[in-house]
Structure 1
Amino acid sequence: DIWPLHLFFDSPPTLNAAIDLYATVEILPRKDKRILLTSGDLGLSYNFPSLSAVPDNHPLELIVRTLKFYRPKSGLEIFTDCRAPQGSGIGGSSALSIALNGALNRLTGRGYRRAEMIEIAKNIETQVIKVPAGCQDYYPAMYGGVRKVLPGIRRTETQKYAISPAELTRHFVLCYTGKPRNSGINNWDVTKKAVDGNKTVIRHLKSIRDCAVEMERALSRGHLKSLAPIFAREWKARKQLAPNISTPQMDRLMRAAQKKGALAGKVCGAGGGGCVAFIVPPAKKQSVIDELTAKGGQVLPFRFVSRGLRH
């Protein structure tokens, strides 16, 4: 979903889903010009006399740059919280960005449509991470549900699948490896190699594209039992894109889960740590959870949900 990669591979679908590890934003207008920023999950708090006094290069740069884009007329107290662990690869910063855009768009009366807010969020993230950002993480945060994202030549489109989030939840386990990674670096390395015509990277990206097309067919027909083999093939191709996409800890957890019945697993996001998602038979889900926990993984309780951005 990173421009221009999708154009090289006939704009295949990107498949993802919303989960209930929500990001929340609360904004309280002030009568003065002061800007108070508090991040609950990071345990950070800052106080500035005005918006112009807030530096761009800041530990909460994503929040600061979004705030400066909307330029509210009064001072504000902004409280944020994100339940996804930092660096987990499950789109926590993107969910936070969508929540922040939704709140500031409403507060300032800018009237941006949802598609416009996604573009704003993507471009601000690019300013923060200093390499091209993809768009797929914003769609489940904005619209909710299990969906496909189709980056095209004219615009990016999205479609929601008629799949029960509760049924899908029964088949998945999400494990945080406790090893945060910089997603921008891996993605940029792969993007550069593809643009430069690296045949090995292009071959593996074509395999990932084929998996996405095949999984899209399975999801559109509601064939959940068909997902695991595709999931496994996608991970086999993805981890060969760069040497640091998989880590020893992730490999250990993969082996441990599969010994207890997991059908397939793959990294979430760009890799290098973060979360691993496993497809499991519902009857063996608890055994897989227990084994991952025993091996040092942090299993994240979650549900797939239909809910997206709400005010």
Structure 2
Amino acid sequence: MIVRSRAPLRLGLAGGGTDVSPFCDQHGGFVMNVTINKYAYATIDPSPDGNVCFHALDADLMQCVRPEEADLAPGPLQLMKGVYRRITMQYLEGRAPAIRVRASSDAPPGSGLGSSSTMVVALVTAFAEYFDLPLGEYEIAHLAYDIERKDLGLSGGKQDQYAASFGGFNFMEFYDSDRVIVNPLRIKDWVWAELESSLVLYFTGVSRSSAQIIDEQSRNIQEGRSSSLDAMHRLKEEATRMKEAVLKGDLRRFAEVMQAGWLAKKQSAASISNPMIDEIEETARRNGALATKVSGAGGGGFMMFICEPCDRVRLVRALDTMDGTVYDANFTHHGATAWKIL
């Protein structure tokens, strides 16, 4: 039997960063996001030689070891090993099966599309299907969060796991004790189409470690720096305004909220923006962009722009003169899914 899965990557529209401790524990966090048709993929099948094999297809790196020897050392195989270790210990009573785990992603690590967390969700979803584990969207997202943040000690928030698990447009609430509420939004078809027509997704060509930015942001909150704390509260408010704009189909307001949220986010940590991002933003603004936002923690990765659909060609041509790459992207209705091949 072969099991495959895929989980969609996400665009953070508003409130990103308020899902990170300690802010969400102390004040509650609100995030608006949407998944796109870029995915993380996982495949599980029996291992032919009694070993457990992990293969990061993107990095072309593979390791086969005895099941009891699977470690959690940092590197391209760490996420796969972390999921394997947690599933076997928590759900298989310590039984370590001989399987082959392969994974890949449509976006590189550090892209700002939640690629690492989405990969963990894809892996958990595949394991749940392979071993017939009764896990719903909330359980998969929470388990993926625990594996990445607690078992592996990787810095970050909570929105990526829940976005990948649920899919679509969601308004998310984050509170202390890991309490999360996901509110799926019913978006009118014409609003959905207009937003897709207005969106330009651009990869800067520079991947970055989100952990450093997130750690700086968390330190600012822990140390009570008023400028950072005020910026986080504005980000939280912008998520609510973004939800209202999308539900009402007020796309001009959507762009205004996105731009205001980006300005607030840049004030939460100094490393979120840099001269490269500023230059790209200015070029986009001169060529029709109504709003700019770096997806994810910031510092590089993917940027998104909102423009009038008739200005899209002009904006894309201007961005094509720079060092990055424009990507096509459409929104998705569905979250993580898995299927068996018998």
Contact 1:169–1:303 (CA under 8 A) maintained in structure 2: yes
More RCO (CA 8 Å, sep 6+): 2
* Percent of residue pairs bearing the same amino acid type: 27
What residue number does 1:95 align with? 118
**Whole-Å separation in 2 of the counterparts to 1:5 and 1:87:** 22
3-state SS, counterpart of residue 100 of structure 2: strand
- Which of 156, 170, 179 aligns to 2:197? It is 170
Q: Which residue of 2 aligns with 1:284?
A: 311
Q: TM-score w.r.t. structure 1 length?
A: 0.93
Question: Whole-Å Cα distance in 1 between the matches of residues 247 and 129 of structure 2?
Answer: 34
Alignment of 1:254 with 2:261, yes or no, is no
1:176 offset after TM fit, Å? 1.0
2:222 aligned with 1:195, yes or no? yes
Cα shift at 1:131: 5.1
- 1:145 aligns to 2:162 (yes or no): no
- Give the conservation status (yes or no) of the 8 Å contact 1:207–1:234: yes
3-state SS, counterpart of residue 20 of structure 1? strand
Higher alpha-carbon deviation: 68-77 or 113-122: 68-77
**Distance (Å, rounded) in 1 between the aligned partners of 2:209 and 2:233:** 24
Q: Is the strand fraction higher in 1 or 2?
A: 2
Q: Please, which of 177, 181, 184 is the counterpart of residue 157 of structure 1? A: 181
| TM-fit CA distance, 1:129 | 6.3
Change (3 A) 1:124 1:153: closer
Letter of the 1:4 counterpart: P
Whether the 8 Å contact between 2:168 and 2:335 is mirrored in structure 1 is yes
Partner amino acid, structure 2, of 1:134: G
Root-mean-square deviation (CA, aligned residues, Å) is: 1.9
Residue in 1 that maps onto 2:71: 55
- Partners of 2:185 and 2:247 within 8 A in 1: yes
Alignment of 1:222-233 (within 5 A): 222-233=249-260
Q: Deviations over 1:217-271 (max 9, x none)?
A: 2123232221111111111111122221112211111111111101010111111
Instruction: Give 5+ residue unaligned stretches, structure 1.
Output: none
Could you tell me whether the CA contact under 8 Å between 2:111 and 2:302 is conserved in 1? Answer: yes
Contact 1:61 1:128 in 2 (8 A): no
- Distance, in Å, in 1 between the alignment partners of 2:47 and 2:322 is 49
Gaps of 5+ in 2: 1-18, 89-94
Report the equivalent of 2:24.
6
Task: Return the alpha-carbon distance in structure 2 between the equivalents of residues 67 and 148 of structure 1.
Answer: 31
Candidates 13, 18, 37, aligned match of 1:20: 37
TM-score under structure 2 normalisation? 0.85
Correspondence for 1:86: 109
Q: Choose 108-117 or 135-144, whichever is displaced more.
A: 108-117
